[in-house]
Structure 1
Amino acid sequence: MEAFVTICKKINFNPFFLPSLGGGRAARPQCPLCPTRPLVTGHQLPWNSGLRTPGNPPPCVPPPAGRRIRASAGRAGSCRAGGSCVRAAGRGGRCRRGGAGMALSPYVQAMQELFRANTRSREFPAHGAKVHSVAWSCCGRRLASGSFDKTASVFLLEKDRLVKENNYRGHGDSVDQLCWHPSNPDLFVTASGDKTIRIWDVRTTKCIATVNTKGENINICWSPDGQTIAVGNKDDVVTFIDAKTHRSKAEEQFKFEVNEISWNNDNNMFFLTNGNGCINILSYPELKPIQSINAHPSNCICIKFDPMGKYFATGSADALVSLWDVDELVCVRCFSRLDWPVRTLSFSHDGKMLASASEDHFIDIAEVETGEKLWEVQCESPTFTVAWHPKRPLLAFACDDKDGKYDSSREAGTVKLFGLPNDS
């Protein structure tokens, strides 16, 4: 502790000053004890000081030999001098003070080789305005997109290109999010600011149900068993709708800002990310509070579960992506290569890759188990949404692109695919 205070005095650093990480570019000062590692709110305090921030993350100060600090709330394991530090994901999951880098894992090498041969991205016209959401059907044959132009589009994947199958009209306001039925490849649902959700059947190209809700809807998800649809609105009300009768089963009003919602893979817990940086967990179907986890020091924006049911990930306004163990509900790793608030996440079909995106002009693709950087998908503008194909290393995404040919302010409304063969 004395050594820590001495260092703080030398560099004029206040260890009890916790900078605010709100919207905009995430400011991350350097840690005084580990210069290669950016500092996040709460990381200033030594592990044995007895002083913890609300997020309770671990410091950069290495713990005594043999002591393992379990991760929690914005932390990603320990940082041992000369050892590994998964918090420093910007360096491939390592924080080595003066040490050499670790060899890449065989999986990382194999995927980098694959992407070198399949590095092409291609865009496809989809809408007349910006695309807010993209999602693959469970079989991977179709890709759906929702847009500010009040419509949804569905594409067929044919070899290495998307062919537009149909455009779905009926909403009176922006389509902010959509998702597919977890096991029926013909059904998808859209959430709109017009205070309705609509269920569509691609076989009939018509809306088979319209459900009125109490507010402007901004997020939606379908339960893993396919029986329930949950939709959240701008008033922080989440409504649970029976997918067969199309009637409301339950409704919950929350006293905090609800950003994104999701069931776990076992269908027995319901997760919400909120504006206080927390993950709120409810039992399902009882909807009783189980736990509230201080995941980030600022707004917790998005959440995704990996297909294997081992992890879930959250993205925050602090520009960090944190990876959590589903069973133990502890954070095992953080990814810090992005500099802007994390808007969107997606796990690959095998659960081994995690794509994350923000206002940075690239999409970060990381190996889940190590935090190693696999690839960067270059973009010309901020990315709104990403979605891995359910069977292939093919990434769909949409950005805030402009149609510069005729009007530099006109939104392009395109959907893009990354992972196409270079010679296609």
Structure 2
Amino acid sequence: MAPPVRIRQSLTKERFVGYFAPLRSQTYNESTQSRGGGGVGSIRSIAWNPLGSLVATGSSDRTLRVWNPEKPNARFSTELKGHAAGIEKVAFNPVKDAELCSVSNDGVVKFWDVRTKACVNEVRDLGNAHTLAWAPDGSSLLVGNKSGGLFRISPTQSTILSSHPQPVEAYQMAFCWSGEKVFLPTREGNIRILSYPELEPIMRVNHAVKPGDSDEFMLKGHTAPCLTTELSPTGRFLATGGGDAIISLFDTQDWICQRTNTRIIGPVRSISMALTPHQDLHLHADLILGFTFDGRYVVGGCEDGPGLDVTHTETGEHVHTFKTAGPCHALAWAPTRYCLAYSDLGILRIIGLDADRK
């Protein structure tokens, strides 16, 4: 296991460039390409554990690996073997530092103890699954598939707890921090707010609706399918991303979208946001949202070209660009420090570790 991580102080906008400019990213030698099974974009998902001491990567070539960020050579990592199809999403239990969940597109979810490399549980028959979200207390998860299936499962039971069919593909949902609500994106570009575990609408509109129309209150922030949601660690903002190249940030007190940012254009594959945003970013296609520990900055990557742009969330100003050799298909800020993990030409890279050693 990696040593305990020191929590870093927040950086002001003026200091951000000076902090990152001299740093170089560290390459992690997961040789999927040398096996002939990887290639550009093979990493589909990146996740840090709750302490920020481990990083997990899931790849389209079925490779699931857990890294110690301090030791980039693959011999110091842990490969977890057992998936028979490409891995779509990985996520650590939010309250257990060594419990990892992974979902593959053959409908199998596996739970791992990364200390022993053992698969401690698996749930099957979930269809062409591609997304998951842990409940904040770590006792259950929601898994979604491309056929509209939404399933509640447990890390300790091998059968599905409950099924909640949706009319269209299930996209990346998010929980509120109490675990009582789930934010569910829809193909219509709206975001539903549902109770958990019942998954019933919580809020209703306060005006009359046309006969046959639903009175369910939904967040409206996209003109194309809303693909992902993420709640800030402070609970103040909900970030949503859609196929219309927009990421919206809603204030969770009044549910008003606070700001838009149009700097990132074209199909954006990955977005990772800071903890306190008020803004929107433009993107097309699949994306990932993730907040950093202090909420000051958001980073976004476009799948059509290299580079990761960092924006200051309070002002909307562009702050910095991390240069990459190719498009970025997955990224995630560390939960305790300014440390960014991202895929570049199918290889894991992390920037920010140099500063921790100073």
TM-score (norm 1): 0.68
Partner of residue 122, structure 1: 26
| Cα distance in 2 for residues equivalent to 1:367 and 1:287 | 34
Q: Which amino acid aligns with 2:315?
A: T
Q: Is the 8 A contact 1:345 1:355 kept in 2?
A: no
| Cα distance in 1 for residues equivalent to 2:301 and 2:240 | 12
Alignment of 1:163-202 (within 5 A): 164-202=76-114
Partner of residue 7, structure 2: none
Identify which of 324, 335, 341 aligns with 1:379.
Answer: 324
Q: Which amino acid aligns with 2:25?
A: S
CA shift in 2, pair 1:108/1:389, >3 Å: same
Partner of residue 309, structure 2: 364
Identify which of 167, 180, 184 aligns with 1:255.
Answer: 167
Tell me by how many angstroms 1:287 deviates: 0.9
Query: Number of matched residues?
Result: 305
| Cα distance in 1 for residues equivalent to 2:87 and 2:237 | 29
Q: Which amino acid aligns with 2:172?
A: E
Partner of residue 58, structure 1: none
Tell me by how many angstroms 1:376 deviates: 1.4
Moved more, 373-382 or 220-229: 373-382
Tell me by how many angstroms 1:162 deviates: 6.5
Q: Which amino acid aligns with 2:289?
A: L
| Cα distance in 1 for residues equivalent to 2:140 and 2:309 | 32
| Cα distance in 2 for residues equivalent to 1:319 and 1:241 | 32
Alignment of 1:100-179 (within 5 A): 107-118=12-23, 120-126=24-30, 128=32, 129=38, 130-158=42-70, 161=72, 164-179=76-91
Given the alignment of the two structures, is residue 418 of structure 1 paired with residue 351 of structure 2, yes or no? yes
Partner of residue 222, structure 2: 296
TM-score (norm 2): 0.80
| Cα distance in 2 for residues equivalent to 1:283 and 1:375 | 39
| Cα distance in 2 for residues equivalent to 1:340 and 1:302 | 17
Given the alignment of the two structures, is residue 244 of structure 1 paired with residue 156 of structure 2, yes or no? yes
Partner of residue 353, structure 1: 297
Partner of residue 241, structure 2: 315
Partner of residue 405, structure 1: none
Identify which of 263, 288, 291 aligns with 1:344.
Answer: 288
Tell me by how many angstroms 1:127 deviates: 5.1
SS of match in other structure, 1:421: helix
Question: What value does the CA root-mean-square deviation take over the aligned residues?
Answer: 2.1
Q: Which amino acid aligns with 1:397?
A: Y
Q: Which amino acid aligns with 1:414?
A: I
- Identity in percent: 29
Gaps of 5+ in 2: 1-10, 33-37, 203-216, 269-286
